[in-house]
Amino acid sequence: MPKASSFSRFTRGVRHTVRAFASTKHPVLVHIVPMRRCNLSCAYCNEYDKTSEPVAIETMLKRIDRLAEFGTSVVTISGGEPMMHPEIYDIIARIRHHGMIAGLISNGYYFQPDKIKKLNEAGLDYLQISIDNVNPDEVSKKSLKVLDGKLKNLAEHARFKVNINSVLGSGVKNPDDALTIAKRAVELGFSSTVGVIHDDEGLLKGLTEHEKDVYKKVKSLGTRSYARWNWFQDNLAEGEEYNWRCRAGARYLYIDEAGIVSWCSQQRGTPGIPLMQYTHEDMQREYITEKWCAPTCTIQCVHQVGHLDAWRDPQISPADYDNRKGKGLKKETVAQVLSAE
């Protein structure tokens, strides 16, 4: 990977991080879905279908423009399988045009050299691929045996950062596969992470003693990076709740293929407001109010964003927020009043 490209990405990342600490008024990370369809049918996944069409490129570009108006720092494209969208490179280029960091989450099947080079040209900053096992089974075909050739292509041609995520928990037959996958990622020069697999509401599934041991070994591999801001999982791996302030709907947004804003991929429909109608007042509400699912949430990206504001602005219940708003508090002062208490 050229040094200039790595340095440019690093400096932009630092700039956005400093800005995120300095102000709470903008989204730090947005996941946006350009199509729900996927070429795979992983048994544990509730984020795909086999029939939907890609979102029209004109609509996607308008949504990207809207996120830029909000001052968004990072836009990550997910799915479904986003590499199936025929204008995926135009979507990435639009994100970069606005100075936002462009990310992509993929199942890894579409990384032939020509596609990787187009991603380079579009300005992709980082890619994450989740690999579930060494050999494919009835639960998942996202397997190291199937994808290793694509990983070699990425190691040779990608000018963007690549992270390989392995998983532990319910549905994973051989926990030791996660360690094998992580070691291969490091061998190829990629970063590696491990996730505790969640149920269909994004909540905790406890790990066995052997899975905990593998989890610790995988975490010890690789280099330090923002992708490793996942110490919250140490509690979850032990089957314990984690006390934190989820800022989903404000600092983190999930935008589905219909353009609807949700807390995350596992809580789709809440708050359920179209992006083009979403306001700073909506973000203020979601920023300051508690989420019922937070204590056992396993979704890494939302937790990582939450770390930025963990030290400020205590949260209250949605009902309490509504009561305070009903007493005439201006939206600009709600957070100040709460944080002073």
- Asked if residue 338 belongs to a domain, the reply is no
275 vs 214, which has greater pLDDT?
275
Could you tell me where the DSSP H helices lie in the chain?
Answer: 3-22, 57-69, 88-97, 113-122, 144-157, 176-187, 209-219, 232-237, 280-288, 300-307, 318-326, 331-339
Would you state the structure tokens that stand for residue 244, as one six-digit string?
């934190």
The reply to whether 257 falls in a domain is: yes
* 228 in a structural domain: yes
Is the sign of the CA dihedral 291, 292, 296, 298 positive or negative? Answer: negative
What is the reported pLDDT for 170?
A: 61
For residue 260, give the H/E element and its range. Answer: strand 260-262
| Least confident among 97-106, 197-206, 330-339 | 330-339
Query: Which residue range is the domain that position 29 belongs to?
Result: 3-307
Q: Is the pLDDT of residue 341 over 70?
A: no
Greater confidence (134 vs 227) lies with 134
CATH number at residue 299: 3.20.20.70
pLDDT in tens, 305-315: 998 999 999 99
Q: Is residue 225 part of a domain?
A: yes
Q: Which residues neighbour 336 within 8 Å (Cβ) at sequence distance 6 or greater?
A: none
Three-class secondary structure of residue 227 per DSSP: helix
- Token pair of 80 as six digits: 């479904």
- The answer for residues whose C-beta is within 8 angstroms of residue 189's C-beta and 6 or more apart is 155
State both tokens at 62.
């308008």
Inter-residue contact 126 to 78 (CB < 8 Å): no
Return all residues near 290 (Cβ < 8 A) that are at least 6 apart: 245, 246, 315, 316, 317, 318
Helices 209-219 and 176-187 meet at what angle, rounded to 10?
10
| 208 occurs within a structural domain | yes
CA distances from 245 to 230, 287, 288, 311 (A): 14, 9, 9, 9
Does 313 fall in a domain? no
Backbone φ and ψ of 86, nearest 5°: -65, -20
Q: What is the mean pLDDT of the segment spanning 36-40? A: 89
Residue matched to tokens 């990405």: 9
How many structural domains is the chain composed of? 1
Does the predicted TM-score (pTM) go above 0.85? yes
pLDDT tops 90 at residue 57: yes
Question: In terms of C-beta density within 10 A (0-12 exposed, 13-18 middle, 19 or more buried), how is residue 11 classed?
Answer: exposed
Q: Quickly count: other Cβ atoms within 10 Å of residue 200's Cβ.
A: 9
Helix (H) or strand (E) holding 168: strand 161-168
Token pair in block for residue 169: 């928990």
* Structure-block tokens of residue 306: 């939450």
Point out the least confidently predicted range of 2-11, 108-117, 258-267, 282-291. Answer: 2-11
Overall average pLDDT of the 272-278 stretch: 97
What letter would DSSP give residue 99? T
Of the candidates 191, 163, 187, 174, the one whose C-alpha atom is nearest the C-alpha of residue 140 is 174
pLDDT (0 to 100) of residue 227: 45
The upper half-sphere exposure of residue 197, i.e. CA atoms within 13 Å in the direction of its Cβ, equals 22
3-state helix, strand, coil in the chain (%, to 5): 40, 15, 40
252 within domain boundaries = yes
Is residue 274 in some structural domain? Answer: yes
- pLDDT at position 161 over 70: yes
Instruction: Give the pLDDT mean for 246-261.
Output: 97
- For the chain, first and last CA: distance in Å? 50
